[in-house]
């Protein structure tokens, strides 16, 4: 478990990267128990692009937090890249989180008094990467999301879509195998949402596994597989028929000015 994350690359015999069995999560609020997850069993292969859908309160965020090792299940098994996450120490978990997983949230979660470049460098501060390499990696990640010309901008000098792209660059900077995105387009207008989906599709094309929570069918249609949660259980799980390519959709969408002018 002290192995470098890279040494697991390609070592998965059946390509399964996320494997959960009978996952349950009960939150205890004083006397009251909230059953957020009531037995989730599913597996996700490397290179998949999965949309997780379902009504508010159905357990989507709880599931994502467990997958991201931000929280532990009450019961059940979680194998991440064939490693039983339940067995790991806090330090080992933090290592895995840092090296295998990138997070993107609805509210971007950028530091406001910090440039795009510095925001993207943040995850590297926990490793022993030198300042120069940190900057190189952060610039490369920003270029990957099309923000090479905005690296010194502060969040309030960027549009919502651009801020979300900075957040995606931050998620990418450690070269994760998996990106977990919890309603990443929830605060964005429709064209900007599709632009963000275009980036996720491009990243997925390079082999990164993506799990994305959304409540919009239009957004889920960009994923390869759609899982619907209801009351902490999987209600349906199917392959997207006629998957949309964001690039194509954008060609037929009206342009909106990508600035912060409401
Ligand atoms: P979703 O993301 O699908 O809206 P959540 O996973 O956030 O659903 O929540 C599932 C259920 O668990 C809800 O009933 C919610 O109120 C409850 N819940 C979520 N987080 C907590 C928490 N930290 N403490 C107590 N209850 C929680
Ligand atoms: Mg949620």
| Strand ranges (E), the chain | 16-29, 32-45, 49-53, 75-80, 83-84, 101-105, 178-182, 209-213, 225-230, 233-239
Mean pLDDT score, 2-6: 42
Mean pLDDT score, 193-221: 97
Average pLDDT, the chain: 92
pLDDT of 257 reads 60
Pocket of ligand 1 contains residue 56 by CB under 6 Å:
yes
Mean pLDDT score, 252-260: 69
- Ligand 2 ion: residues within 5 Å (CB): 60-61
* Closest ligand 1 atom to Cα of 37: 10
| Beta partners for residue 43, in sequence order | 19
Identify the band that residue 127 occupies on the pLDDT scale cut at 50, 70 and 90.
Answer: confident
What phi, psi does 100 have (nearest 5°)? -105, -20
Pocket of ligand 1 contains residue 52 by CB under 6 Å:
no
Contacts 24+ apart (CB under 8 A), 204-209: 204/47, 204/49, 207/46, 207/47, 208/47, 208/176, 208/177, 208/178, 208/179, 209/17, 209/18, 209/44, 209/45, 209/46, 209/47, 209/48, 209/49, 209/177, 209/178, 209/179
Pocket of ligand 1 contains residue 64 by CB under 6 Å:
no
Are 95 and 61 within 8 A, CB to CB?
A: no
Identify the band that residue 262 occupies on the pLDDT scale cut at 50, 70 and 90.
Answer: very low
Cα 182 to ligand 2 centroid, rounded to whole Å = 7
Pocket of ligand 1 contains residue 57 by CB under 6 Å:
yes
Mean pLDDT score, 84-101: 89
For the cut 80, the answer to whether the pLDDT of residue 72 exceeds it is yes
* Domain spans of the chain, in order of start: 47-72+90-251
Instruction: Identify the CATH number of the domain defined by range 47-72+90-251.
Output: 3.40.50.300
Which tens digits make up the pLDDT trace of 166-186?
A: 999 999 999 999 999 999 999
Which tens digits make up the pLDDT trace of 98-114?
A: 889 999 999 989 999 99
Ligand that lies nearest to the alpha carbon of residue 57, given by its number in the listed order: 1
Q: Is 77 exposed, middle or buried (0-12, 13-18, 19+ CB in 10 A)?
A: middle
Mean pLDDT score, 154-171: 96
Percent of the chain at pLDDT exceeding 90: 82
Mean pLDDT score, 125-138: 91
Identify the band that residue 5 occupies on the pLDDT scale cut at 50, 70 and 90.
Answer: very low
For the cut 70, the answer to whether the pLDDT of residue 193 exceeds it is yes
CB atoms within 10 A of CB 85: 20
Provide the token pair at 82.
């064939």
Identify the band that residue 10 occupies on the pLDDT scale cut at 50, 70 and 90.
Answer: very low
pTM over 0.85: yes
Cα 36 to ligand 1 centroid, rounded to whole Å = 6
């Amino acid at each position: 478990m002290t192995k470098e994350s890279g040494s697991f690359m390609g070592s998965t015999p059946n390509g399964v990267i996320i494997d959960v069995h009978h996952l349950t999560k009960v939150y205890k609020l004083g006397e009251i128990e909230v059953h957020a997850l009531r037995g989730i069993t599913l597996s996700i292969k490397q290179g998949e692009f999965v949309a997780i859908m379902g009504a508010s309160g159905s357990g989507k965020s709880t599931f994502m937090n467990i997958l991201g090792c931000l929280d532990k299940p009450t019961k059940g098994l979680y194998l991440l890249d064939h490693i039983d996450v339940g067995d790991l120490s806090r330090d080992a978990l933090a290592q895995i989180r840092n090296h295998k997983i990138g997070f993107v949230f609805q509210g971007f979660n950028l530091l406001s008094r910090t440039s795009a470049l510095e925001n993207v460098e943040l995850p590297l501060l926990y490793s022993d990467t030198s300042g120069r390499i940190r900057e190189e990696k952060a610039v490369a990640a920003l270029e990957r999301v099309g923000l090479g010309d905005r690296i010194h901008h502060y969040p309030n000098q960027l549009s919502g879509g651009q801020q979300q792209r900075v957040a995606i660059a931050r998620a990418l900077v450690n070269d994760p195998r998996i990106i977990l995105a919890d309603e990443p387009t929830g605060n964005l207008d429709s064209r900007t949402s599709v632009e963000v989906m275009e980036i996720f599709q491009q990243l997925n094309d390079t082999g990164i596994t993506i799990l994305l929570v959304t409540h919009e069918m239009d957004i889920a249609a960009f994923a390869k597989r759609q899982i619907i949660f209801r009351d902490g259980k999987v209600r349906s799980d199917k392959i997207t028929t006629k998957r949309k390519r964001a690039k194509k959709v954008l060609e037929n969408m009206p342009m909106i000015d990508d600035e912060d002018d409401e």
